[in-house]
Structure 1
Amino acid sequence: MLLYRQLALLGWLFTSAGLWAQFPQDITDQLVLDGLGAPVGLTFDQTERIYVWTKAGRVILIEDGEKLPDPLIDIGEEVATYGDHGLLGFALHPNFRQNGYFYLLYAVDRHHLLYYGTPDYDPDANLPEAATIGRVCRYTADVATDFTTVVPGSRKVLLGESPGTGIPLLHKSHGVGTLAFGSDGSLLLSCGDGGSYAGTDVGAGSAGSYDAQGLADGIITPAEDVGAFRSQMVDSHSGKILRIDPETGDGLPSNPFYDPARPRAARSRVWALGLRNPFRFTIRPGTGGHSPEEGDPGTLFIGDVGWAYWEEVNVADQGGLNFGWPIFEGMYRRWQYNGRPTPNLTAANPRQGQAGCDLPFFRFQDLLLDATADPAPFFPNPCQPGEAIPTDIPRFVHQRPAITYSNQDWNDEEQGTLVGDFGPDGQGRTFHLEEAGSPVAGLPFTGICNLGGIFYQGRGFPAGYDGQLITADFSGWVRRLTFDPAQQLLRADSLGQTGRPIVALAMHPSDGCIYYLAYGVPGALRRICYGGNAPPQARLDLDQTYGPAPLMVQFSAAESEDPEGASLTYLWEFGDGDSSTEVAPQHTFTATSDQPASFWVRLTVRDTGNLAHQVWETVSVNNTPPEAAISSFADGDRYTTTGPTLLPLQAEATDAEHSPGALSYRWEVFFHHNTHFHPEPPDTARESAVWLAAEGCGEEDYWYRVRLTVTDGAGLSATDEAELFPYCGPAQTVFDTVWAEVRAGQAYVHWQTVEETVGSHFRIASSPDGRHFTPGPETLAGAEDRDYVLSQPAPGPAPLFYRIEVIGPDGYQDFSRVVEA
C-alpha cells in the first residue's frame, strides 16, 4: 500500500544524542526481539503469547521469543499515521481465550472516514494534515487457528461509526491513547484534547488546528469549537477517560454524567476529564468492583503528557474527577489559558440580562476551582457573587496530580518535582520533592513525556517492589512510586535508566520481568529483570562482506562480552553447512556458478550459565552492492513554511548483478527538532511521497532528513541521505491563477504570478491521483507579463492533475495548488 504520510511534531521525543543505560548491578536490561517497526504497545494473554501493536496498524504475535510470520490483524489502510496518530490502543477481552474478542483504538484516516464504501474510495489514498476522528472497534480472533487470525466479518464499531460520533482529532497530536478493561468488566479508553500543541488553542483555528474542517464535517459542534477547552466539557469526548459497554459502545448508567435518553452521547461515556494527552494509564490491581452497576472500574493511574512545562501522574479513584487541563498544568494555573476567559456554550447563565449582567454563558474558568479539602465549595456567579452557579451545571474542583515533574527541555519557569497536600486551612499546598515538610520522600527528577505505568505483581524482584507503580518516561528512565492503600503517594525512587525511548510497559505473567517497548525503527521489545545471570552481548566483526568466489573472510567475536565477566563459548554457523567454535575463525565461501549467492552467518555467544545472544551478518559472493541516489530533491533544498509540502520520494538505482525489479527500497523520514528527531514508519515503495509540515522559522531549529536504502536480491545494500531545511525568507513566488486544459492530445498548464524571484524556475508536474506527481517540462521565471504556459502529451481521456513546482536559486521548493485538466 502506497502511503502518503504527514510528518509533524510527535510529542514523543526521539533523542539523537542518546543516554547511557544505567541500572544497579543486580538489575539487567535484556533484548527480547527487535525489528518490530515503530511499536507502541504490548500485552500478554493467558498463554503468555505477546501482542505488540504498531503505529501503522498491525498487531504482531510473539511466541517463545519469535515473531509469528503473519500479524493477527493489519488495518493500515484505515489508520491515520501522521504526527502522533496511529493504532495506539489495544485490549484483549478478559475472556479472550473463550470468545476471541479484542479491541482496537485508533485514528481514522480522513479519506477512509469520508469515502469508504463509496465510488470515490481509493485504498491507496490517504488524507493527512486534516480533521478526522478516533474510533474503537471490536474484532473476533478465530479459535480454529488458535486465535492467530480474525474471523471474517467480525468487525464491530463501538465508537466513531461516523464523523459526528467519534473522538475529534483536529491536529497532529493529542489523539487517542489506551484501552483497558476495568475490574468490573467495563471498557475504558483515554482521549486527548484533539487540539494543537503549537500555541494557545481556543478554537476557530487559533493555533493551526483544523477546526473549520471539523465543523463542516460535523466532527465537532459549534459549542466544541473551543480548542483545548474541550477537555473541560462533559459534552465532548476530548480530553477524557471514557467508560463504555464493551458489547455496545454505549456509556454506562453508573457513569457520573450519564443521560438515559442519550446513552451514546459523550456525557454518557465520560468517566474523568480535564486531560491533555493521557497516552497511557493503568488500573491498580485489587481495586474496583465486579459489576458495571457498581460504578467502580478500579483506581486509574494516568500519565498525562504535558505541554511544555509539567508531566503528570494522576490518580482517579472515582468518576467525575477533573484534572484541570487547560486551566491547570501540574500544580499551577496555566496562564496562557487561565488568562483567556472562554465561554462554555453548554452552560447558560440564568442571570443574563438581569441587573446589567452581560454574561450569557459561564466561562470555563468560572466552573473550576483551585484544589480544596472543602467538601462543598462555593461557586459564585460572576454576575452575582453572593449567588451560586446552579448545581445542574457541572462544576469542578481541580484534582491535582499525585506527582508532577518538569519538562527538562522546555520548562523555563521552574525545574524539579512537585507533590502536594492540604494545609490546616483546607487549601492545597505544593512542595518540591526534596523540600522539608514534603509529604513524599525521594529525590527530584525531570523528563519529557510520562507514560503511565504498571503495578508490579511478580516474584522476580525483591518483596519491596510488590504493589509499586512502575512508571516510565520517554527519555528512558524507569521509577518506582509507592502508594498506600488509600492511593496516597509515599515515596518516589529510581529503578534505572534504559537509555532508550520507552513507549509502553507490561508485566510478564510468570518470569517476574518488566517488559518494555523501545520506540523507533526498527523498534525493540526488551525486559528488565532482577538478579541471576544476565545474558552475554555478542559482537560480530568481519573484514569484508562481498567479493568474487572463492571469498575468504576473517571473522572475530573478540569484542563480545559478559556482564558478569564469565567465560564465553562461540558457535559460528556460516550458512553453507560449515561451522566453527573459534573466537576468530577464517572461512572461505564458494559458489556453484558465477551468479550472486548469499550466506546468512550466525554467531551464538553463550556464557557459563547457558544464556546466549545471537547476531547475524550477510556475506555475498559474486556480487557488489547497488548504487543509489535520491533524485527528486537535493541535499540542502528548502521547503516552504507557508503550507504543507508534498515531497516526492524518487531515486536512481543501479546494480551490476541484479535487474531493477530485484532491488528493494526503504525510505525513512526523520523530522529533526533541536537535538532530537521524530522517526516515521518506513515506506517500502520504489517511488512514493511524503507531506512535510510547515514547521520552522521560529526560535527552534527544525529540518527534515530523508534516508534511502536500496537492497539487492543477495542482501547487499546502499544508502543515500539528504536534508531539507525550512525557507524563512520572504515569499519567493505568489501565484495568481493556475488552470489546465487538454486540447488535441496535449495538456496545457497555465499560470500567472504576483511575486517571483529572479533565478527561479518553474516545472509542471502531473499526477493520476492528485498525490503522486511526476516532474515534466520546465521554464525559467522572468516572463515579462508573468504569464506562463507549458504543455506535454496528455495520457488519455482520464482526468489528470497538475501543479506548478517552484525551484528557487538556493534550492527552495514551493508548489501551486493542484488543478485538474
Structure 2
Amino acid sequence: MVKVKVRLRPLVSKLNLPTVLKTAILPGDSIERLFIATQVGEIFYIGNGAIKTFLDIRPQIIKLGTSEPGVSGAGYDERGLLGLAFHPEFTYNGLFYLHYSVAGTQGPGALSKHFKPDPCDPGTLNLKWINRETQYNHIDTVEEWILQSNGQPQKRRTLLNLRRPFFNHNGVNSLNFSPETGKLVLTTGDGGAGYDPFNLSQDIMEIAGKIIEIDVAKDTFINHPPVVTRFNELPAPIQETLTVIAKGVRNIPGISFQRFHNQYIKYVGNVGQDLVESIFSFVHYKPIPVTQLVQASLMNSEPDQEGFINFGWRGWEGAFPTSIIRGCSANQNSDEKTIAYYNEAIITSVKRLPPLTSYFHKDPRPDKFGGTALTGVQAFMGNGIPALTGSVVFTDLARKEESGSPVRGVLAYTRVRSDGKLNNFSVIETNYDFGSGSAYYVSLGTNTDQTRLYLGVYGSMKVTDFNQGTVFEIVP
C-alpha cells in the first residue's frame, strides 16, 4: 500500500458533535452544499462561505448524556440525531429523511447490571429480552420530511418507530440511499450493551443488527406507526416497504456504494468489541422481503437465506471468534483470550462474509496503529489525491497511544483485491496541528460523486461538552 499524505482544511468550527456529513443541491439552487448534522439535533449547510441553519430539532431529541444506570463516563452517549439522507430527487421534490432518538422516551434499559458472557455459565449465553414494553432504553424513529416551497422543512410521515434495549449501538450516518435500487438504506446496530446479550443480530425477525432497505416510493401513511422491535409486529403496509439485506451487525457507521463498471461495490464497517474493527465489501446480495420473513415464521419454516449477507456477529468479531479478554494474573503484560460463544462461532462459520480488511485494538507492527472504534467508511473516486482514487477510506475514533499524549483519531485506507482476499491497509498521514487538545475523529463524509472527503473532529468524548467540533475537507 502506497504511503499517502494529506492536508486537513478547516471548513467550520465550534460546532456540536458532527454525526453526518453529506452534500446536496437545494431546490432552486445549482451548487452542491455541504450539510452537517450534529448529534444534539441541528442540521447546518455551508452556503457562500457562511454557515446557515437548515433544521433544528433539538427539542425532539432525547436528553443526551444521561444514558443509563451503571454506564461509565457521564456525558458519553450514542443516541441523538444519527441519520440524515437526501432523496435522490431532493432538488426537485424536497424530500429528506432523519433517524433520531426521541425526546421523552428514556426507559430503564433491558438489563439491570453490566453484561459479560461467561462460557461456563449457560445462563449468560441464552438471555432473552423480555417485558420489552417496559424494559428498554429509548425509542428511535425514522421520518420523512419535506422542504416546503416557503423554505421551511416539515415532517411528512413516520416510516419506523424502533424500541431499543440499551443506549448504544444505534448506528451513525445510518441513512443512505442506494444508487442501485433507489431505496433508503437503514444501517442499525445490535441494540448495544456489548456482546449482544440477547443475540438480536442473528435472529432474522429482530430489527436490531440488520441492514434494511425501505422503499420510500410506496406512500404508506400510517399516522402513528406502532413502536416495535421485531418485523412481525409491523403493520402489513409497512412490512411491504421493507427488505432485509444483511444480519450479524454489531454497529455500523453507514454504508457506501462505489460504482465499478455496471455494478456497485458496497462497503460497511462493523465496529468491534475488544479485538478488532472490520470493513466488509460485497457486490451481489439477495435481500429478503419482510413479508416473506413473516410468512415463513407463521409457517414455522426457515426463510431462504441463500445469497443473504451475514457479517457473523455475535459469534464472530471480524475474522475472529468473539473473545472475552481477561488480564493474566501471572503475567501483567499478557491477556487471556477465551472464545465467548463457541457454538455460535461454529454455526455461523461458513455462513458469514469474511472482512475485506481489519485493524486491531493492539497491533505490534510498526506502521500500523491500535484502534478504538471505527467511525466512518467512504469510497473515494476523486483524482485530487491520486493514490486514493478507487480506494475505501476509513476513520478510527482515537489511536491507542501511550498515556500523556493528546488523543488523535486515525485516517486510513484500503482497496478491494481482484482475488477477493483479505487486504492490508495503510495509515494516511495528516499534517494538521491540533495543539494540546483532543481530536476524536467522529465522522467521515463525501460529496455525491465521491470526489471530495470531509472529516468531522470533536474535542471531547462527551456530547454534553458543547461546541468542540470542527469539520475539515481532506485535500492533497
**TM-score calculated relative to the size of structure 1:** 0.40
Deviation at 1:459, TM superposition (A): 2.7
1:458 Cα deviation (Å)?
Answer: 1.9
Relative distance call for 1:505 and 1:286 in structure 2 (3 A) is same
Going from structure 1 to structure 2, the CA distance change for 1:273 and 1:316 (only over 3 Å counts) comes to farther
What is the DSSP-based 3-state SS (H/G/I as helix, E as strand, rest coil) of the residue aligned with 1:237? coil
- Output the CA distance in 1 between the equivalents of 2:219 and 2:206: 16
| Structure 1 residues 512 and 231: alpha-carbon distance in aligned structure 2, compared to 1, 3 A threshold | closer
Q: Provide runs of 4+ in structure 1 moved above 6 Å.
A: 258-261
Comparing both chains, which one has the higher relative contact order based on Cα–Cα distances under 8 Å and sequence gaps of 6 or more? 2
Task: Report what 1:808 is aligned to.
Answer: none
Aligned to 1:356: none
**355, 358, 372: which is aligned to 1:401?**
355
Query: Greater CA radius of gyration, 1 or 2?
Result: 1
Q: Does 1:242 align with 2:242?
A: no
1:248 to 1:58, Cα distance in 2 relative to 1, 3 A: farther
Which of the residues 143, 160, 164 maps onto 1:169? 164
Checking the alignment, whether the CA contact within 8 Å between 1:87 and 1:106 is kept in structure 2 is yes
SS at match of 2:91: helix
How big is the shift at 1:201? 5.1
Q: Give the CA RMSD over aligned residues.
A: 3.4
Give the structure 1 partner of residue 312 of structure 2: 324
User: For residue 250 of structure 2, what is the aligned residue in structure 1?
Assistant: 276
1:48 aligns with 2:42: no
Q: Which one of the candidate residues 443, 465, 469 is aligned to 1:504? A: 443
Structure 1 residue 76, shift from structure 2 partner: 1.9
2:34 aligned with 1:95: no
Cα distance change, pair 299–513 in 1 and its aligned pair in 2 (3 A) = closer
Counterpart pick for 2:384 among 460, 463, 479: 460
Distance in 2 between residues matched to 1:508 and 1:278, nearest whole Å: 20
Contact 1:87 1:104 in 2 (8 A): yes
Please tell me the residue identity of whatever aligns with 2:318. G
Alignment of 1:587-598 (within 5 A): none
Aligned to 1:386: none
- Contact 2:357/2:414 (<8 A) preserved: no
Q: Which of 405, 408, 415 matches 1:482?
A: 415
Any idea what SS the aligned residue of 1:98 has? helix
Structure 1 residue matching 2:153: 3-state secondary structure: coil
The one-letter amino acid of 1:470's match is: V
Distance 2:340 2:379 in 1: 38
Q: Is the 8 A contact 2:18 2:39 kept in 1?
A: yes
Match of 1:66 in 2: 50
Residue 468 (structure 2) pairs with residue 522 (structure 1)? yes
Report the Cα distance in structure 2 between the residues aligned to 1:405 and 1:50, rounded to whole angstroms. 30
Deviation at 1:398, TM superposition (A): 2.0
1:33-182 → structure 2 map (5 Å cutoff): 33-46=12-25, 47-68=31-52, 71-80=53-62, 81-82=64-65, 83-111=77-105, 131-145=137-151, 149-151=152-154, 154-160=155-161, 166=162, 168-177=163-172, 178-182=174-178
Other structure's SS at 1:140 match: strand
Q: Is the 8 A contact 2:257 2:265 kept in 1?
A: yes
Q: How many Å separate the matches in 2 of 1:309 and 1:267?
A: 37
| Contact kept? 2:137, 2:167, Cα under 8 Å | no
Written as runs of structure 1 = structure 2, the 5 A alignment for 1:597-608 is none
Q: Distance in 2 between matches of 1:156 and 1:54?
A: 22
State whether residues 174 and 192 of structure 1, in contact with CA within 8 Å, keep that contact through their aligned partners in structure 2. yes
Q: Partner of 1:284: helix, strand, or coil?
A: strand
Whole-Å separation in 2 of the counterparts to 1:157 and 1:112: 19
Cα contact 1:313–1:452 (8 A) shared by 2: no
Measure the CA separation in 2 of the matches of 1:509 and 1:185.
Answer: 14
Distance 1:509 1:188 in 2: 16
Q: Which residue of 1 aligns with 2:428?
A: 495
SS in 1 for 2:58: coil
Instruction: Note the C-alpha offset of 1:64.
Output: 2.8
Matched residue SS, 2:182: coil
For 2:138 and 2:449, how far apart are their aligned partners in 1? Answer: 41
The letter for the 1-side match of 2:380 is: Y
Question: Within 2, Cα distance between the matches of 1:169 and 1:261?
Answer: 19
Deviation at 1:416, TM superposition (A): 5.8
SS of equivalent residue, structure 2 residue 45:
strand
CA contact (8 A) 2:314 2:344 kept: no
Structure 1 segments unaligned to the other structure (5+ residues): 1-22, 114-128, 161-165, 203-225, 251-257, 290-297, 342-362, 372-396, 409-414, 418-433, 435-442, 531-821
Contact in 2 for aligned 1:158/1:249 (Cα 8 Å):
no
CA distance in 2, matches of 1:246, 1:274: 25
Assess, with a 3 A threshold, how the Cα gap between structure 1 residues 262 and 288 changes in structure 2: closer, same or farther: farther
Report deviation, 1:111. 3.6
Match of residue 449, structure 1, among 366, 373, 378 = 373
- Provide closer, same or farther for how the CA distance between residues 27 and 201 of structure 1 changes in structure 2, counting only shifts above 3 A: closer
2:280 equivalent to 1:314? yes
Letter in 2 for 1:473: D
Distance 1:486 1:72, change over 3 A: farther
> Which residue pairs with 1:233 in the alignment?
203
Structure 2: unaligned runs, 5 residues or longer = 26-30, 66-76, 108-134, 221-230, 287-307, 325-337, 399-408, 460-466
Deviation (angstroms), 1:170: 1.5
Whole-angstrom distance in 2 between the partners of 1:507 and 1:239: 25
* Displacement of 1:527: 1.5
The residue type paired with residue 429 of structure 2 is: G
Measured in 1, the distance between the counterparts of 2:57 and 2:189 equals 22
Task: Tell me the secondary structure at the aligned position of residue 447 of structure 1.
Answer: coil
Structure 1 distance, partners of 2:13, 2:237, is: 43
Rounded to whole Å, the distance in 2 between the matches of 1:107 and 1:487 is 38
Q: Is this contact kept in 2: 1:104–1:138, CA < 8 A?
A: yes
Distance 1:509 1:404, change over 3 A: closer
- In structure 2, the CA distance between the partners of 1:272 and 1:249, relative to structure 1 (3 Å rule), is farther
Give me the whole-angstrom Cα distance separating, in 2, the residues matched to 1:158 and 1:313: 28
In structure 2, the residue matched to 1:534 is none
Q: Residue 112 of structure 1: CA displacement?
A: 8.6
Q: What displacement does 1:273 show? A: 0.6
Counterpart in the other structure of 1:616: none
> Aligned partner of 1:271: which letter?
I
CA deviations over 1:627-672 (Å, ceiling 9, x no partner): xxxxxxxxxxxxxxxxxxxxxxxxxxxxxxxxxxxxxxxxxxxxxx
- What are the superposed Cα offsets for residues 362-417 of structure 1, whole Å, 9 maximum, x if unpaired? x8567x3324xxxxxxxxxxxxxxxxxxxxxxxxx122211112124xxxxxx368
- 1:526 is displaced (CA, Å) by 0.8
**Displacement of 1:508 after TM fit?**
4.4
Q: Structure 1 residue 193: deviation in Å? A: 0.8
Kept in 1, the 8 Å contact 2:312–2:348? The answer is no
Going from structure 1 to structure 2, the CA distance change for 1:326 and 1:110 (only over 3 Å counts) comes to: farther
Instruction: Check whether the contact 1:131–1:170 (CA below 8 A) recurs between aligned residues.
Output: yes
Change over 3 Å in CA distance of 1:471–1:249 after alignment to 2:
farther
- Cα shift readout 1:513-545 (whole Å, capped 9, x = no counterpart): 422111243211111211xxxxxxxxxxxxxxx
Distance 1:284 1:512, change over 3 A: closer
Distance 1:272 1:186, change over 3 A: same
**What amino acid is aligned across from residue 82 of structure 2 in structure 1?**
L
Specify whether residues 112 and 173 from structure 1 end up closer, same or farther in structure 2 by C-alpha distance, changes over 3 A only.
closer
Q: CA deviation at 1:489?
A: 5.4
Report the Cα distance in structure 1 between the residues aligned to 2:97 and 2:420, rounded to whole angstroms. 29
Task: Give the whole-Å Cα distance in 1 for the aligned partners of 2:156 and 2:425.
Answer: 43
Distance 1:511 1:339 in 2: 39
Distance 1:189 1:466 in 2: 27
Q: Report if aligned partners of 1:234, 1:267 keep a CA contact under 8 Å in 2.
A: no
1:448-467 CA-to-partner distances (Å, cap 9, x unmatched) read 111232222223222x4221
